[in-house]
Structure 1
Amino acid sequence: MKVLLSLMALCITLGLCHGACFLARNTVAFVDGKMMLPDGCTDLYDGTKHPFGDVWNSSRCMRCSCGRTEMQCCTRGVEVREGCRSILDMETCSYKFYKIDDPTTPCNF
């Protein structure tokens, strides 16, 4: 029973830390009756093309990777720091932390 509870706690913790992911399957196209296999992945948010094996940050700061059969994108987990508020910097796709009582002061840890 203790093992089951420990596993449940671990799964919940991992889910909260990592956020959410989605998979988009690469599709085969037919042009003039001929099957055309994909040569990479297309970012669903901004339409950019990426070769197989590529890893990138989407325009919404999701971490995406392109595989032969699918593209996977995951949100970034949110880190919690006591007394601080996290703000996602969309240019660097990283979180910055500021004091709750003074949003102009960064938290230094």
Structure 2
Amino acid sequence: MKVLLPLTVSCITLALCQAACFLTLPTLEIRNGAMVPQDGCIDAYDKKKYPFESEWNTAHCLRCSCRVTGMECCTRFGGIADVQGCNGVVDFETCTYKFYSLDNPEEPCFEASETKSIHISDPK
């Protein structure tokens, strides 16, 4: 229950931002009947605990850092990508965008070797 509210807030924030950063504030834990601050950060995705001043990459293409002030995670694939006539989809294996035709979702808009003008919006 202690992580449900921060996890929900983090998920909503990430969904609204689409491609950005989000901060999870530290919480207090109850130990032996007393409230004490966390001694690290718990990644909502892999449930691992990370010490303060650490950084890691998640399987969901996020770059996270744990600080006393909270855990900050940012997408590794940049801002919101826009290619006219194409739909951008995040490839979670490479943490990059792949673009497919709006008319035929199975057809790539261009090959990786082609040069294409891609507009990436910085959501900050």
Q: What range is the shorter-chain TM-score in? A: 0.5 to 0.7
Q: Considering only CA atoms, is the larger Rg found in Structure 1 or Structure 2? A: 1
The 5-angstrom pairing of residues 47-58 of structure 1 reads 47-58=47-58
CA distance in 2, matches of 1:64, 1:94: 17
> Which residue is equivalent to 1:62?
62
Cα drift, residue 105 of structure 1 = 4.9
CA distance in 1, matches of 2:109, 2:22: 35
Task: Verify: 1:103 aligned to 2:102, yes or no.
Answer: no
The 5-angstrom pairing of residues 73-92 of structure 1 reads 73-75=73-75, 76-82=78-84, 84-92=86-94
Q: For the structure 1 residues 56 and 73, does the alpha-carbon distance in structure 2 shift closer, same or farther, using more than 3 Å as the test?
A: same
Task: Verify: 1:46 aligned to 2:51, yes or no.
Answer: no
Count, aligned residues: 92
More helix by share: 1
**Structure 2: runs of 5 or more not aligned:** 1-17, 116-124
Equivalent residues of 1:97, 1:106 under 8 A apart: no
Letter in 2 for 1:54: S
TM-score by length of 1: 0.59
Cα drift, residue 42 of structure 1 = 0.6
